[in-house]
Structure 1
Amino acid sequence: MRALSRLFGLLLLGLLGGLVLLSSCETARTSKANDEAKQMQDLSNAAGASLLGIAGSRQVMRLDHQGEVQYKIPQSAVAAALIRQLHDGTVIDQVQVRAAPGSDAKQPVYYLIGLGHRNGGFRAIAIPLHGTDDSTYYLIPTAGRYIITGVGCRTCYFDFEAGHIIGTTCEDNSGGSSCSLQVLNANQVFTGSRPAAPPQKKRR
């Protein structure tokens, strides 16, 4: 009888030990899963934070249910930022966001465009926006700049092909009127810094 009781006690002890080990493994598995989920969330948060301004990106606009542009930054503030970006005496007096002709209708390419003048000549700057799945569009620092300078031309237009800017056209093609397009990498519109001023010519 004692032997039977002792055997039963050993079996019970083994069973309890197994339950403790199983519980420990399950806890470790749950902890690992939680760690992996946290790492994924941290990566997601970092990516979102990058778009939301840490890397100089800024939400510019969002499309509503009717596909209308809803500006997230006052256009006057955008115009001032574009003036700081150009930093050459250009005055931007009109800001707009337009879908690029020829871009995919399901995922259209939108450009932030500033129109203005410098020393009486036409000036314009266009920067492509980065779109997300929820129809929100950001200006990111790696986006290139397309800058038009008009000479004797009242209005210049950006020429598009398949959603991309490929050139410029003068409204009035009469003699002496022209528009030139300059393409530059990246931008500093919302980074809080601006390019250095051009060197001043020394007076003799």
Structure 2
Amino acid sequence: MRLLPRLLGLGLLSLLFALLTMSCETSRRGTEEYVRPDRVKAVDGSPSADERPSEVASRQIAQLSETGQMEYKTSQSELARAFIRQFGDGTVIDKVMVRKAPGKGQEAAGYFLVGLGLRSGMFRAMALPLQNGGDNTFSLSSAATRYIISGVGCNSCTFNFEGTRIVGTTCADNSGGSRCDLRVEPTNSLFTRRPGAAPAR
């Protein structure tokens, strides 16, 4: 008679042990499936680290050949698409060039990547200074300043240079009421893309 309670006690103990083992196994599986914190949006709605744009530090744009010809290492069609994305307001870019800005005195020449186009029939342009790698290669940094021209009643605008700096703009037809507005932005995102996104083609 004493054997029965003892067997029942052992059975209950075995059942309790089995339940505890199953509980630990479930916890382990749950830990492996835990979502990384940086993939979850913050409470205030700000984007997570994975949703923020990942900037390209620099991108080689062109190289000056021994004959003095500018050879594009990033195609002009890809540059035009990058300018259109950067404007983001319906501006269509139909001409891209690397323009030389002669320095003053002993100052070395500077080079700018320039995109020209139209928005609703009005002239638009953007210029960004390029970094000279010292071997006649020119790269665009995501930290490069953007100089943006918006024509108001002006068919064509030009950037005004002082040495290697853009200091203003001029309306080519110079008729009454026509002008070119210049805006300066501190950085650019011509080649910025989000992590996991396909590269621009």
TM-score range normalised by the length of the shorter chain: 0.5 to 0.7
CA positional deviation for 1:107: 3.3
> Residue 23 of structure 1 corresponds to which residue in structure 2?
none
Separation of aligned partners in 1, 2:120 and 2:77: 21
Q: Could you tell me which runs of 5 or more consecutive residues in structure 1 were left unpaired when the two chains were aligned.
A: 1-52, 194-204
Please give the per-residue CA displacement for 1:123-148, whole angstroms capped at 9, x wherever unaligned: 00000000111111100001000000
Give secondary structure in 2 for the equivalent of 1:133. coil
Give secondary structure in 1 for the equivalent of 2:98. strand
TM-score (norm: length of structure 2)? 0.66
Separation of aligned partners in 1, 2:138 and 2:122: 30
> Residue 58 of structure 2 corresponds to which residue in structure 1?
57
> Residue 98 of structure 1 corresponds to which residue in structure 2?
99
Separation of aligned partners in 2, 1:168 and 1:186: 20
Residue type matched to 1:156 in 2?
C
2:42 is the alignment partner of 1:75: no
Residue type matched to 1:183 in 2?
V
Give secondary structure in 2 for the equivalent of 1:124. strand
- State the identity %: 51
Give secondary structure in 2 for the equivalent of 1:80. helix
Instruction: Output aligned runs, 1:1-204, within 5 Å.
Output: 55-102=56-103, 107-192=108-193
Please give the per-residue CA displacement for 1:92-118, whole angstroms capped at 9, x wherever unaligned: 000000111335777321000000000
Asked if structure 2 preserves the Cα contact closer than 8 Å seen for 1:168 and 1:179, the reply is yes
Asked if structure 2 preserves the Cα contact closer than 8 Å seen for 1:104 and 1:163, the reply is no
> Residue 12 of structure 2 corresponds to which residue in structure 1?
none
Residue type matched to 2:82 in 1?
A
CA positional deviation for 1:180: 0.5
Give secondary structure in 2 for the equivalent of 1:67. coil
Q: Could you tell me which runs of 5 or more consecutive residues in structure 2 were left unpaired when the two chains were aligned.
A: 1-53, 195-201
Asked if structure 1 preserves the Cα contact closer than 8 Å seen for 2:149 and 2:180, the reply is yes
Separation of aligned partners in 2, 1:184 and 1:95: 19
Separation of aligned partners in 2, 1:144 and 1:78: 16
Asked if structure 2 preserves the Cα contact closer than 8 Å seen for 1:90 and 1:123, the reply is yes
Change in 2 beyond 3 A, CA 1:68/1:103: farther
Change in 2 beyond 3 A, CA 1:153/1:165: same
Change in 2 beyond 3 A, CA 1:104/1:68: farther
Change in 2 beyond 3 A, CA 1:108/1:101: closer
